[in-house]
Amino acid sequence: MKAKVMVLATGGTIAGGSESQISGAYTSATMGIDRILEALPPLHHVVDIEGEQIANVGSQDMDWGIWFKLLERIETLAQQEAIKGFVITHGTDSMEESAYFLHLTLKTSKPVVLVGAMRNGSSMSADGPLNLYNAVAVALNKESVGKGVLVVMDDEIHCAREVVKTHTSSVHAFCSPNCGKIGSIYYGKVHFYMQSLRKHTLQSDLGLEKIQELPKVVVIYTHVDCKVSLLENAIINGAKGIVVAGMGNGNPGSALLNAMGKAVKEGVVVVRASRTGGGLVSSTEVDDAKYGFITPDNLNPQKARVLLQLALLKTKDVAKIQEFFHTH
C-alpha cells in the first residue's frame, strides 16, 4: 500500500491569481485545491495525494473557526494508518500563528506541514509549486515524525514555535530569528539538523479537551506617547488577557506600566512582550513579580497571544501560565 499525504487547503497567495505575470497586484484565494495540486509533478508512483478544501480565504481573514476545522479534521484523518502526513496550504500573513496554534493543540505525532507562496500562481517564477512539492516531501519523510508542526518555505524547514514572517514580498520572507531553521530541503531532498525541545502536540499541556471559543486576548503595540486608553478600552470591551508589545526588553511607558498593574489587580492576565522581533524578555527593568506580569520567553506578541488564549482555557493562575510560556 502506498503512503498517502492529505493536502488541506485554506486559501492564501498560493491559491491566488492575477491578470498579469509581471504585476504585483493579485487576488488571493481564487483557486481550489484541485487547481493547486495540478502544479505538482506526477508523484503517483511514490505517494497518493488527496486534497480537501477546508476554507478559501486570504490569511488576514483567518479565524479560530478555521483553526478548529483543521484541528478536528487532522485528528480524525490521523487515525487512518495509510495517511502518513498532512500539508496545509495557507496564506503567509498569519501562517506563523496558525502553525503555532496547531503545534500546541494537535494530538498526533504524524507530520503536519504548513506551506504557502509569496508569489501568486499566475506570477512569473511563482514559488508555490516548488514550495508545495517540498512540503509533501517533508510530510512523507520519516524524520519529520514527532517534530510537531513545521513550516516549509523557500527551501527551508522551520519549527512552528520559532518561525516568523519577516518581509512583505521577498520569497525568503520566513526565518526563525531566535533559534534558526531546523532543516533544509532541496527539490524534495530533506535534511534535518535540529528539533525543538519545547512541549508540543502529544506532549503539550495546552491541547483542547473540547472545541470551545477562545478567550479574548488583545495585543497592544506600544509607541512613543502610547496612551493608556488603548489598554483601558480593551478591558472595557471584554479582554480576558492582554499582550503588551513593549519597547526594547518589553518596556512600556510609565503610565502604561501603572495601568497594566491595575489591570492585573482587576483580574486581567497581562503578558509583557517585546516589539523588537527577537530575544528573551527578562525582568531586568520591570519587576514582573511585583506587578504580577507574565513574560513570554522569546515568543513574539502574536504567538504569545495564541499561547495565552489556550492557557486561559486551563487556568488564570499567573505562576502556572508563566510555566506554560517556559515549557511550550
CA distances in angstroms from 56 to 90, 190, 199, 202, 281, listed in the order given: 9, 29, 30, 28, 36
The three-state secondary structure class of 274 is: strand
Quickly tell me which residue has 496558525 as its cell.
98
Provide the Cα torsion 311, 314, 317, 321; round to 10°.
Answer: -30
Q: How many CA atoms lie within 13 A of 245 on its CB side?
A: 19
Active-site annotation holder among 13, 108, 201, 295: 13
Q: Specify binding-site residues for substrate.
A: 59, 92-93
Q: How many CA atoms lie within 13 A of 288 on its CB side?
A: 21
Quickly tell me which residue has 523557500 as its cell.
154
Task: Say whether 13 is catalytic.
Answer: yes
Distance, in Å, from the CA atom of 130 to the CA atom of 8, rounded to the nearest integer, reads 17
What residues act catalytically?
13
